[in-house]
Amino acid sequence: METLETEFGAFTQRVEPGLRRALMGAVGVQRVDDATGEALAYAYEHFDRVREMEHPLGYLFRVGQSRTRPRKRVRLFRDESRSMPDVEPGLMPALLHLPPSQRLAVWLVHGCGWTHAEAAEVLGVATSTASTHVARGLERLRRELGVTDVSD
């Protein structure tokens, strides 16, 4: 029989990487450790309820985001002077120029691989609204980066 600690440990190993990645887009690199810790502490305190959820990652994302408010300037990486391999150098600054709702929707869907429905759930909006945020965010990114030929 699996103990609560063993089950929670397995749960944490499963959700923590995706939770951390998603929260980084919401609270930035400066606060991601705090936000992840807050969310996982909540999960431990309420594990009987959390482990029964259909989408605990989305719920814990909201917990981490609400308990750890971002500073005025969100940084997505520790050293923004270094460019990321295989990524357009202007992408991170362009992402940071998006309105928060669009940035977070684009980050969750394209950066974290969430569905529009999962992103909508944590954003507290309808799926169609999340899809609109993603579409408008991508359009602004394309415009700002000068991308004219998009082959989806």
CA distance 112 to 140: 19
Cβ count near 95 (within 10 Å): 21
* Position 83 pLDDT exceeds 50: no
Type of residue numbered 40:
L
What pTM did the predictor assign? 0.68
HEC assignment per residue over the chain: CCCHHHHHHHHHHHHHHHHHHHHHHHHCCCCHHHHHHHHHHHHHHCHHHHCCCCCHHHHHHHHHHHHCCCCCCCCCCCCCCCCCCCCCCCHHHHHHHCCHHHHHHHHHHHHCCCCHHHHHHHHCCCHHHHHHHHHHHHHHHHHHHCCCCCCC
Write down all domains in the chain, each with its CATH number in brackets. Answer: 1-70 (no CATH), 86-152 (1.10.10.10)
Cα Rg, the chain, nearest whole Å:
17
CA distance 7 to 43: 12
Q: How confident is the model at residue 142 (pLDDT cuts 50, 70, 90)?
A: very high
pLDDT, one tens digit per residue, over 67-78 is: 886 555 555 544
pLDDT, one tens digit per residue, over 7-24 is: 999 999 999 999 998 998
